[in-house]
A and B are shown apart, each in its own frame.
Chain A
Amino acid sequence: MSGTLTVEGIYTAYDKANVLEDVSLEAEKGKITCLLGSNGSGKSTLIRSILGLTPPNQGRIGFAGTTLTGLPTHKVIATGIACIPEGRKVFPKLTVEENLRLGGYQESSPAVITERLDKVYETFPRLRERKDQLAGTMSGGEQAMVSIGRGLMSAPKLLLIDEPSLGLSPLLVKENFNIIRGINELGITIFLVEQNVHQTLAIADFGYVLTKGRVVASGTPEKLSKTTEVHQAYFG
């Protein structure tokens, strides 16, 4: 299906040791799909595999009718994928606006960029006030806004979000999840990788559980919140 992300039996390794083994999953178009797993389960590696930063040795990843496996990262992005990376990864020595402009790097029309900038500034008025500030000098919550806004600047079809709640206060975490739901309501497919089980399942349409590089459970949030795998994945 176009607009759906499909991961089919991928194996990804760093230095020959497999981190992901035979991982298959799907992020359906228009939905919020989540991947739960504890630290070191391979969640971020999966995001890196999709983006082509750590390409899988085996298996296939496809999106919107294109095979992503084997493509360099900038071509993966060109298919309509954006990423809000783990730890926000704002460019510390660039201004807020420069960070946002980089999010729309592949868009060549300045008019479209200005329009999208305005939209991001409407969503996060704080960023407009601080548009000339260096992103590295902002608070964690503000950096999260930059990172989210930057992810929206390319008007992506699919947004990969890696641990948005990491290092944020509980209040900000809640706010962040509301924002993610809002983004999804704009029609953007979301693939969300998280450790925070309850908040994640509260907004997700479908979920997978990853343990030691393998998918051990999948299902609707209702089903997942009852399965023992989720508990085992976290509490062993």
Chain B
Amino acid sequence: MDVGYLAQYVMNGLMLGMMYALVAVGFTLFFGVLDVIKFSHGDVLTVGAFAGLATYLGLDLLGISSPVVLVLCVLSVSALCMALLGALIARYLVLPLRSAPPLNTLLITLMLGTVLRESVRLFYPQGANPKPFPALLPTDSVTMGNFNLRLDNVMMLFAGTIVIVGVHLLLTRTKLGLAIRAVAQDEETAKTMGINFKLIVLITFGLGSALAAFAGIMNGLYYNEINFGMGLLLGVIGFSSAIVGGLGNIYGAILGGFLFAALQTVGAVAMPFASAYKDVFAFGVIILIMAWRPTGLIREKVSERV
């Protein structure tokens, strides 16, 4: 195969993998601290992307045109709003259901996801139609043979890497991260260490949801378009990635995200069937891996509740 094409596929795969990894890390964080699956995660991503778009349109009306200001505002408003939304979901829907069977949490967040999705469709102006997402990053590109390297993609990959490394450092090097890991391992003992359990849960849900917002903006910038249903598939992919990597383990989630993107890419270009089957291929392989290693590639804890 031509080296240029190959580089192009690898680049596209990395972009998708980064988005999936960001979503999967959220799933794995929530499962870590509370042993629950929050199914509305993908739709939080959608709301985050639309919040970003609305922020852009608002700033545009105000006449602000500096790309740096625009990008920073879009990202921070979206991330902050989704962090707040995630914390609210944890506070009013997930924590009160702790004494109920875990299936209820799964169901209620599934329903919430539908509410969020439909709300975007019905209440965002012409929300049923796909929305063009502004190209906020410089779109210069370098062409090398069949490989077209775009500056905005490089910037997004770089930013995504920084975010993931940042989450890693937060979890491993800070007192907050230590508390999150303690709660994930043993909730009761963590409480007896003097950790405010509820606060840690809210922060963790806020953090995971901010990551989803980031992934949503990235998705918009990559495809130059967002729509109310975008979070549905991204949520399922993120969830599968988290499971196949080993639910509860953030490195597993990152690995799972990139693995899924790699499978999609292979399915699209290297298989003897049409590229439309790439998701069928990717999910099929994921199912096989799950049959082979039910607890994930990097085993964290047995997901007996799923």
**A51 interface residue per 8 A CB criterion:** yes
Give bound CA distance, A91 to B179, whole Å.
11
Cβ-defined contact, A85 with B192, below 8 A = yes
Give bound CA distance, A91 to B186, whole Å.
7
Give bound CA distance, A103 to B178, whole Å.
11
Cβ-defined contact, A51 with B178, below 8 A = no
Within B171-201, the residues touching A (CB, 8 Å) are 175, 178-179, 181-182, 185-186, 188-198
Partner of B182, one of A73, A74, A83, A102: A102
- The list of the 10 closest CB pairs from A to B, nearest first, reads A77-B194, A73-B191, A106-B194, A89-B189, A102-B193, A74-B196, A105-B194, A83-B192, A91-B185, A105-B193
With most chain A CB atoms within 10 A of its CB, the pick from B178, B181, B194, B197 is: B194
- A residues within 8 A CB of B186? 89, 91
Partner of A105, one of B179, B185, B188: B179
CB distance from A110 to the nearest CB of B (A): 9
Cβ-defined contact, B179 with A94, below 8 A = no
**A98 interface residue per 8 A CB criterion:** yes
Cβ-defined contact, B194 with A74, below 8 A = yes
Within A105-120, the residues touching B (CB, 8 Å) are 105-106
Cβ-defined contact, A93 with B181, below 8 A = yes
Cβ-defined contact, A78 with B194, below 8 A = yes
The chain B residue with its CB closest to the CB of A160 is B192
Seed contacts A72-B196, A74-B191, A77-B194; 7 additional CB < 8 Å A-B pairs: A72-B191, A74-B194, A78-B194, A92-B185, A94-B178, A102-B178, A154-B194
Q: Assign chain A's interface to a size class.
A: 20 to 34
Cβ-defined contact, B185 with A94, below 8 A = yes
- B residues within 8 A CB of A106? 194
Partner of B195, one of A51, A74, A83, A92: A74
Partner of B192, one of A53, A92, A94: A53
- B residues within 8 A CB of A43? none
Give bound CA distance, A82 to B189, whole Å.
11
Give bound CA distance, A91 to B180, whole Å.
12
Give bound CA distance, A77 to B188, whole Å.
13
Cβ-defined contact, B194 with A94, below 8 A = no
**A101 interface residue per 8 A CB criterion:** yes
- B residues within 8 A CB of A74? 191, 194-197
- B residues within 8 A CB of A78? 194
- B residues within 8 A CB of A150? 193
CB distance from B179 to the nearest CB of A (A): 7
- B residues within 8 A CB of A102? 178-179, 182, 190, 193, 195
Assess A91 versus B182: contact at CB under 8 Å? Given A53-B188, A85-B189.
yes
The chain B residue with its CB closest to the CB of A77 is B194
Of the A-B pairs whose beta carbons lie under 8 Å apart in the complex, a sample of 25, sorted by A's number, is: A51-B191, A51-B192, A53-B191, A53-B192, A73-B197, A74-B194, A74-B195, A74-B196, A77-B193, A78-B194, A83-B192, A89-B186, A89-B189, A91-B182, A91-B185, A91-B186, A91-B189, A94-B182, A98-B181, A102-B179, A102-B193, A102-B195, A105-B194, A105-B195, A106-B194
* Bitwise interface map of A from 41 to 74 toward B, beta carbon under 8 Å scored 1, else 0: 0000000000101000000000000000000111
- A residues within 8 A CB of B179? 102, 105
Give bound CA distance, A78 to B194, whole Å.
7
Give bound CA distance, A92 to B181, whole Å.
11
- A residues within 8 A CB of B198? 72
Give bound CA distance, A24 to B191, whole Å.
25
- B residues within 8 A CB of A103? 193
CB distance from B248 to the nearest CB of A (A): 10
- B residues within 8 A CB of A101? 175, 178
With most chain A CB atoms within 10 A of its CB, the pick from B181, B182, B185, B189 is: B189
Give bound CA distance, A92 to B184, whole Å.
11
CB distance from B184 to the nearest CB of A (A): 9
Give bound CA distance, A72 to B197, whole Å.
9
CB distance from A162 to the nearest CB of B (A): 10
- A residues within 8 A CB of B194? 73-74, 77-78, 105-106, 154
CB distance from A78 to the nearest CB of B (A): 6
CB distance from A52 to the nearest CB of B (A): 8
- B residues within 8 A CB of A82? 192
- B residues within 8 A CB of A83? 192
